[in-house]
Amino acid sequence: MGVVDVTRAAAREQVLIAMLGIPRLLADPAWRDADPDQGRGAGVLLVPGFGFGDASLRLTATWFRKRGYVPIGARIGLNVGCTTTLLDRLERRLEAHAEATGGKVILFGQSRGGGLSRLLSVRRPELVRGLVMLASPVLDQLGAHPSVVRVARKLARLSAAGLPGLVDQDCFAGPCYDTNSAAMGQPLEVPAISVYSRNDAIAPWELCADPCADCVEVSSSHTGMALDPEVYRVLGPRVAEWTRDRSVAALSNRAPEPVSMAG
């Protein structure tokens, strides 16, 4: 990739640029054509990327909800904390949502959120119906663009200085990193989809090609992947397969109470 191509790719990763694609998404049949019985009340746990909160996946939550799923946010703030700490919080969130919806839950994660979701799938496969990873470099936790890694290391220094709730040095070289690297290398026991793009200027596509997942290439940017109709055309039939055997009798007698997507 030449200098001009790299510059253009980096420009596409700006959040405001990615948001320009929202009208195209909302007008696409992949968004508009919805079978409200498809999800059969199956729960979905949405995990945002590094530096983003639940609001970044609000449209994804709407897409699932229109199709009869019950999506909730991760409630982990901006996803800048210690990997092990966040994983423990997500596990409790998963347990609660599985109980509320009466069955296994689909995990949907973007970027770092996909890596956390994969770790959670390894830890609690009995609670996971399926795993979706968008632009998640799961083959190397530190393989994201150097600028992203530099930000993470700066946060670790702030954590060492006493600022709570941030990624710390153990996440780069210590027990946290060792434990989660080993877990990330374990095979999956649940069906999984890994969506990647060669136009991704943040996560190298090669690091997203999880050998345990159904790997699918799209043409979107990293930041705009959850706003790309091509992604939903890919996901629609695949996640529908995961809920096809879900019995209505397995659902709780009352519908789960709406859960805010706010972080």
Structure tokens of 214? 């159904």
Inform me whether the pLDDT recorded for 262 exceeds 90.
Answer: no
Residue 190 CA from chain centroid, whole number: 15
- pLDDT of amino acid 3: 31
Q: Is the pLDDT of residue 15 over 70?
A: no
Q: What is the pLDDT of residue 11?
A: 45
- Helix 175-184 × helix 83-101 angle, to 10°: 50
Asked if the model's pLDDT at residue 5 lies above 80, the reply is no
Contact at 8 Å (CB) between 132 and 155?
no
**pLDDT tens across 54-72, in order?**
999 999 999 999 999 999 9
pLDDT digits (tens, 9 = 90+) for 135-165: 999 999 777 777 777 887 887 777 677 777 7
Confidence at residue 246, expressed as pLDDT on a 0 to 100 scale: 67
Closest by CA position to 229, among listed 15, 70, 32: 32
Spatial separation of the C-alpha atoms in residues 87 and 180, rounded to whole Å: 10
pLDDT, mean over the chain? 86
Query: Distance between CA 192 and CA 194 in Å, rounded?
Result: 7
- What is the reported pTM? 0.86
Q: What is the pLDDT of residue 171?
A: 81
Q: State mean pLDDT over 173-186.
A: 89
Q: Comparing C-alpha atoms, which of 252, 231, 248, 203 is closest to residue 108?
A: 231
Distance CA 109, CA 226 (A): 10
